[in-house]
Amino acid sequence: MLQRNAPSSIVKRLPVYLRILDNLIKKDVEIISSRTLSNQTGFTAEQIRKDLAYFGAFGTRGTGYNTVYLREKLLKIIGLDKETNVIVLGSGHLGNAFGRYNIIKNPYIRVVGMFDVDLEVIGKRVEDLHIEHFDKMSEVIKEHNVKVAVLTVPAEQAQYVVDELVKCGITAILNFAPTKLNVPKNVHVHNTDLTIELQSLIYYSSSEEEGIN
C-alpha cells in the first residue's frame, strides 16, 4: 500500500491537503468533505477523492474525512511522521532565506546544516545554525542521517556539489541552481528555478496584446 512510486501528479498535491488539514484542525474542524477541500485547493472533488483513495479508503461514506485521521495518514504517506533532517548548500540570499523560512519552523522538517565556501560568511549565524565550510558536509550528513538537500549555489558549482552530495548518500535534492543536474536514477531532483517561473509567467502577462509576429 505505502509504495514510494505514486504518480508525481498525486504526490505534489499531498502537501497541499496536509496544510489545509493543519489549518482545519487548528480550528477544531473534525470532518471535511472532498467538496470543501475542493474549494480550498482549487482541485476538483473527484480528483481529491481519487488521490486519497489511491493510498486507501480514508473517508466515511455519507460523511467525509476525519481531519485528524486523514492528517496522520498523509504524514505517514509523505514520510513526515518522523522528523526529517535537511541541509542547505549555499548561503547566498536565497539559501539564507531558506534557512530562515517558515518551512523550517515546520515541526516535521529541521535544517541541520548550512554550508558555503566563502570564508567571509563561514561562522555566521542563521537562526540557530552556524554556516560551515563544505568540508564539514559529509560529517553532518552522517551525524544526522540527512537524505534531503536544498541546493542554492551558483550554477557553475552546482554539479560538483551534487556529485559530493550523492557520494554522501543524499537521495533527494531541491535544486534552485539554474542548471540541469546529472544524478543517478535513485536520486530525485526537484527543480525550482525562479527565473524560469518568472519568464514563463511573463508569457501569460501579455495576453491582450498584439497577435502576430
C-alpha closest to that of 21 among 57, 56, 52, 54? 52
Q: Under the criterion CB under 7 A, does residue 49 sit at the interface with DNA?
A: yes
> Using CB under 8 A, which of the segments 44-52, 60-68, 157-165, 187-195 binds its own copies?
187-195
The entry of DNA, its own copies, none near residue 68 (CB within 5 to 8 angstroms by kind) is: none
**Least distance in Å: CB of 64 to its own copies?**
19
How far apart CA 19 and CA 82 sit, in angstroms, is 17
In the complex with its own copies, which residue's Cβ is closer, 150 or 161? 150
Using left for φ > 0, alpha for ψ between -120 and 50, and beta otherwise, residue 28 falls in: left
Q: Under the criterion CB under 8 A, does residue 156 sit at the interface with its own copies?
A: no
Q: Which residues pair with 89 in a beta bridge?
A: 115, 151
Q: Which of 3, 5, 7, 26 forms a contact with DNA (CB under 7 A)?
A: 7
The C-alpha cell at 86 is: 535537511
Residue 121 in contact with residue 91, Cβ under 8 Å? yes
> Using CB under 7 A, which of the segments 45-53, 127-135, 169-177, 198-206 binds DNA?
45-53
Label the pairing between strands 172-175 and 31-32. unpaired
Q: Which of 2, 15, 50, 155 forms a contact with DNA (CB under 7 A)?
A: 50
Q: How many helices (H) and strands (E) does the chain have?
A: 10, 10
In the complex with DNA, which residue's Cβ is closer, 70 or 183? 70
Q: Which of 50, 103, 142, 167 forms a contact with its own copies (CB under 8 A)?
A: 103
**Least distance in Å: CB of 155 to DNA?**
23
Q: Under the criterion CB under 7 A, does residue 8 sit at the interface with DNA?
A: yes
Count other C-beta atoms under 10 Å from residue 213's C-beta. Answer: 3
Task: Read off the amino acid at residue 23.
Answer: N
Q: What is residue 75's three-state secondary structure?
A: helix
> Under the rule (CB under 8 A), what is the footprint of its own copies?
1-4, 6, 8, 11-12, 14-16, 18-19, 40-42, 76-80, 84, 86, 92-94, 96-98, 100-103, 106, 108-109, 147-148, 150, 171-174, 178, 180, 186, 188, 190, 192-213
